[in-house]
């Protein structure tokens, strides 16, 4: 293992039922194919019996790892251990669509972080059901797509969204305070590549005006949860959470302002962990590697 390996790097991320020989099989394959390990993190869950592994590696000769060839080698190992796995080039910038309604804080934060290199996304479009934030997207040089949504037009609007995802080869969809509930069909089509953000007071304060509800109950903590989108509303695997202490002196509007801060931080970290292939998912549980 060496942190100074030259050349491009790649990541193997996997989860499977825990069993002897997993690390031996994987590292043996990498050695056979002329690769050296740059970083390795693993975790075995005593409660679920699931093993998680993230290995970042490079070729010893400095060439770019051949992911197709490596994938061919990983496949029989994965079948043997029942793995869910992925291989990715660490230099790859995932083609991304950011969806938003009228709240600008998460969108602006993601676009700003991406513009200064804190995130490594290829943002192909900002999609919104309102026209309000078009100028913000334009300011970052990102195409803006207005797709209005009503009860009657929702199926057509989702079809337009999924057409965009297919046409642009989109690998990640970020719901940055997009205030429309995606249909089960859309959630299924985007499974594993759509991230949502919401206030972490759910399920205690659902529906309209959650911060007013929280204020009335005298909450002492507020926060935000970033998770993968599934057909079970706001119950997908959790990637990241942010928690802030509050007190009785804050108005509902001040609670909401603090909540926006938590939402920005949690969503940015979740997008980073996903794009860096640091999130291993097994069922409804996740492991986020350092």
| Residues labelled catalytic | 234
Give the pair of three-digit tokens for residue 189: 């089509």
Query: DSSP readout, 198-247?
Result: EETTTTTT-SS-HHHHHHHHT-SEEEEEEEE--SSTT-SPEEEEEEEE--
**Cβ-contact 85, 74 below 8 angstroms:** yes
**Cβ-contact 99, 176 below 8 angstroms:** yes
Phi, psi of 64 (to 5 degrees): -75, 130
Distances 41 to 44, 130, 287 between C-alpha atoms, Å: 11, 43, 11
Angstrom distance (rounded) from CA 21 to CA 41 = 16
Angstrom distance (rounded) from CA 241 to CA 76 = 36
For the beta carbon of residue 90, count every other beta carbon within 10 angstroms: 17
Angstrom distance (rounded) from CA 197 to CA 224 = 7
Angstrom distance (rounded) from CA 77 to CA 273 = 25
């Amino acid at each position: 293992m060496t942190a100074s390996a030259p050349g491009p790097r790649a990541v193997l991320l996997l989860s499977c039922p825990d069993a002897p020989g997993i690390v031996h099989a994987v590292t043996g394959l990498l050695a056979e194919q002329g690769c050296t390990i740059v970083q390795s993190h693993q975790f075995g869950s005593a409660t679920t019996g699931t093993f998680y592994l993230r290995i970042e590696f490079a070729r010893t000769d400095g060439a770019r790892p051949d992911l197709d060839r490596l994938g061919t080698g990983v496949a029989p190992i994965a079948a043997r251990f029942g793995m869910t796995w992925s291989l990715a080039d660490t230099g790859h910038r995932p083609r991304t669509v950011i969806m938003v309604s009228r709240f600008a804080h998460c969108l602006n934060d993601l676009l700003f972080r991406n513009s200064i290199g804190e995130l490594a996304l290829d943002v192909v479009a900002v999609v919104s059901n309102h026209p309000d934030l078009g100028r913000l997207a334009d300011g970052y040089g990102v195409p803006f797509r207005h797709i209005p949504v009503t009860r009657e037009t929702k199926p057509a609007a989702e079809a337009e969204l999924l057409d965009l995802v297919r046409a642009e080869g989109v690998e990640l969809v970020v719901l940055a305070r997009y205030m429309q509930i995606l249909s089960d069909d859309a959630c299924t089509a985007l499974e594993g590549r759509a991230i949502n953000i919401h206030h972490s007071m759910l399920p205690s304060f659902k529906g309209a005006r959650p911060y007013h509800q929280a204020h009335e109950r005298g909450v002492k903590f507020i926060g935000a949860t970033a998770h993968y989108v599934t057909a079970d509303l706001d119950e997908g695997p959790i990637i990241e959470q942010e928690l802030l202490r509050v007190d009785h002196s804050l108005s509902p509007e001040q609670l909401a302002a603090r909540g926006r801060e938590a939402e920005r931080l949690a969503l940015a970290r979740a997008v980073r962990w996903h794009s860096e292939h640091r999130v291993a998912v097994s069922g409804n549980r996740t492991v986020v590697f350092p």
